[in-house]
Structure 1
């Protein structure tokens, strides 16, 4: 069975507070009991000191310093807190006792004399605190003086205190639980408001946000985090819609060309040369569609990829081989430059880095004049190793520098000049760079080419 969050909070706080209150009540009772016992023991000590100097045992005979002191009223009448006195010999046989003991005898224990401590015992129907001291004559023990004081009033006081604490304890817990539940409910009201507002936000009104409180507390941080999450979801949804629209548009165009070419072929009989020309056109269209689909799949794999496994890579050798391979495949001059003479080691995923550089080199070759080489350059800065891909193209307009990494974005002048492309290469580069923790930047001015730079974190 599910329990409301405020109930769980109230129970936890109540249990903790109940334990604290229980400890406090035990301490209160313990301190009260200790104080009462100490007061009675102090009175017993005073009585012991007083009578110790007045009573003597000489050859088994009791003698008093002041006979009238022994016969005073406090030992012969029952008072509110009477003092009970009994004198016994070394074997514990009673020799004399105060009249208020009646038929009762005090407890005899020689060990208590040596420890000089008081203890509680039953005397008839009541409790008493008792002490016991040794009586000496010429340095030799002759017997024992037993003194006791009623503990009954103190016992009633302690029992009443215990009963009051036991009665109030559950009452305090119940009231505490109800108070905690009410306060917990008030505390989570802002969260309930956040939940209610969040449940109202759907794909249709993803632009709405939760009202942020003025205080920068945990509720405010939670609200801002949810709003930031909604903002990211909104941007992601917009990109997805734009991506779907652009992908549909990019695929619709070659499909229309392919359909038109085939329809022309079946309208009437044609010469072999015409058939060959139309079939080549159709195959070229299919190739462009295949390349576009491959890039779409590559972009989808990048967006859904997990953490990449990074290994140590020697950058100079890797880039030198990549430059030679690209030059042979593209039949273009790709110049490799190293700004340092020592090996450069980085932590990277080799396949991911090769895919990034393949896209950048293909873009550089596509937009550069054939008479100028594409430069692949590496070196080290204060921040770490870097790679630069330099082309000699017409450059990128400043207002388009941020948009060139968006899927399917292409500059108007590139489209007007008929430069082939789908606008997905740089989007793939950006995604892979983000996954790899590589900082991607570009510098470009119209008419002076572009420099794409990859900065690697310190190994």
Structure 2
């Protein structure tokens, strides 16, 4: 069962449900026909009963027929189509008279029953009949009962034939349904099979290929678009990973080359202690650069692996002011904290992530400017706003959309030999995404930069 195809399982499920519905419909058909046939027979029986009741009278203490010759008619003499059987009994059920077509048989007597009880089916000899029982009264006194019955054989044969036909049709309908459902299920999942075939052909080497868009608004069309969007994200991720690996290799190769060159120069010939100290200092600088880069790479990897961080309720005003004061004491640079808010501002944010974001942005402002750095906290459209601005060298407008890419640094920054790895803003972006913080950047070349955080 588990190894069967989805087409087979779908066909079986649909057939099972349809089989229950067909069974219900067939059952209702049979019950309706049975009820209709019985009602018609009972109606005819009621008419016959009312007709014969008027022909009976009481004479000399015995119940007799008013027109005995009526009983001698052909319909009472032999069993034929819808014959009528009549019997008169006393209050104890003893037979007083009956129609000749009953022969040695008798109708079924129920003490105390009358016409209000309706009709019931009994067996006379080898045939079934529908019978009614009516109380006979004379001058208000109960004298006996009139038992009237009519043949039920034709109706029973009709109902049996209907039942047999339905039982024969049922398995045939189920087999036809299963084959039809199986075919339709196969046609329905054919687009899915094409999607499977195409996705199996897509590997790491051809992630740029896409599943053909069916241009439909149904679930299969949505599935196709979802797969293509997933492939696009995978492709972009692979591109970023390759670029990241290439950039990391390039950035690590430079200090390694400097370190190797320095050590090769040291071993070529004996040198003075001052030369050894200078060369070792150069090697240590390269090692420090690699260590800083590796620390940043590890930090970025931890952020990507951690996923969404738990959020805490943080009082933003005092928190940002403490971070700014700490960096002021460590760097000795002028950092001004501003706010127009008189009441505390609380926000749901990961405290460690926010601290690392603020630290990286303020350190960048220190690195690329020489003037005062302003840190301002406020409210913008019900959002908490943190602004870090400087009056430094700014960022070229063409490069604004690249500054959050790993290892990206502007060409003029590289020419000025400003220390850095190009990973700080990449970490800031990742932390902000995980914490639900929006980052807006405004910058003008030569006039400084402004980073706005919206929580």
What TM-score comes out, normalization by structure 1 length? 0.97
Matched, 1:24 2:25: yes
Superposed displacement of residue 73, structure 1:
2.8
Name the counterpart of 2:86. 85
Superposed displacement of residue 112, structure 1:
3.1
Contact (CA 8 Å) 1:57, 1:136: kept in 2 or not? no
Superposed displacement of residue 243, structure 1:
0.3
Name the counterpart of 2:381. 382
Q: For 2:104 and 2:278, how far apart are their aligned partners in 1?
A: 138
Q: For 1:260 and 1:450, how far apart are their aligned partners in 2?
A: 38
Alignment of 1:75-224 (within 5 A): 75-113=76-114, 115-224=116-225
Name the counterpart of 2:418. 419
Q: For 2:368 and 2:204, how far apart are their aligned partners in 1?
A: 40
Q: For 2:359 and 2:57, how far apart are their aligned partners in 1?
A: 116
Matched, 1:400 2:386: no
Q: Are residues 455 and 293 of structure 1, via their aligned partners in 2, closer, same or farther at CA, if it must alter by over 3 Å?
A: same
Superposed displacement of residue 191, structure 1:
0.5
Superposed displacement of residue 382, structure 1:
1.1
- Listed as ranges, the gaps of 5+ residues in structure 1 are none
- C-alpha distance after superposition, 1:242-271 (max 9, x if no partner): 000000000010011111111111111111
Superposed displacement of residue 59, structure 1:
5.7
- C-alpha distance after superposition, 1:292-321 (max 9, x if no partner): 000001111111113211010000110111
Q: For 1:186 and 1:264, how far apart are their aligned partners in 2?
A: 75
Name the counterpart of 2:452. 453
Q: For 1:242 and 1:35, how far apart are their aligned partners in 2?
A: 82
Matched, 1:332 2:330: no
Q: For 1:149 and 1:403, how far apart are their aligned partners in 2?
A: 99
Alignment of 1:36-47 (within 5 A): 36-47=37-48
Q: For 2:372 and 2:256, how far apart are their aligned partners in 1?
A: 36
Q: For 1:236 and 1:107, how far apart are their aligned partners in 2?
A: 90
- Listed as ranges, the gaps of 5+ residues in structure 2 are none
Superposed displacement of residue 442, structure 1:
0.4
Name the counterpart of 1:228. 229
Superposed displacement of residue 114, structure 1:
6.4
Superposed displacement of residue 334, structure 1:
1.3
Q: For 2:406 and 2:57, how far apart are their aligned partners in 1?
A: 114
Superposed displacement of residue 28, structure 1:
0.4
- C-alpha distance after superposition, 1:219-240 (max 9, x if no partner): 1111111111101100000000
Three-state SS of the structure 1 residue aligned to 2:353 is: helix
Deviates more, 1:381-390 or 1:9-18: 381-390
Contact (CA 8 Å) 2:71, 2:100: kept in 1 or not? no
Q: For 1:426 and 1:383, how far apart are their aligned partners in 2?
A: 26
Superposed displacement of residue 115, structure 1:
3.8
Q: For 2:402 and 2:31, how far apart are their aligned partners in 1?
A: 77
Contact (CA 8 Å) 1:352, 1:432: kept in 2 or not? yes
Q: For 1:312 and 1:362, how far apart are their aligned partners in 2?
A: 25
Name the counterpart of 1:298. 299
- C-alpha distance after superposition, 1:317-370 (max 9, x if no partner): 10111111001111211111113111100001100110111111111110111x
Contact (CA 8 Å) 1:57, 1:143: kept in 2 or not? no
Contact (CA 8 Å) 1:88, 1:144: kept in 2 or not? yes
Q: For 2:357 and 2:159, how far apart are their aligned partners in 1?
A: 84
Q: For 2:443 and 2:60, how far apart are their aligned partners in 1?
A: 124
What TM-score comes out, normalization by structure 2 length? 0.98
Q: For 1:73 and 1:132, how far apart are their aligned partners in 2?
A: 23
Contact (CA 8 Å) 1:56, 1:136: kept in 2 or not? no
Three-state SS of the structure 1 residue aligned to 2:143 is: strand
Three-state SS of the structure 1 residue aligned to 2:299 is: helix
What root-mean-square deviation, in Å, do the aligned CA atoms of Structure 1 and Structure 2 show? 1.2
Q: For 1:57 and 1:431, how far apart are their aligned partners in 2?
A: 110
- C-alpha distance after superposition, 1:358-400 (max 9, x if no partner): 111111110111xx21111110111411111111112111111
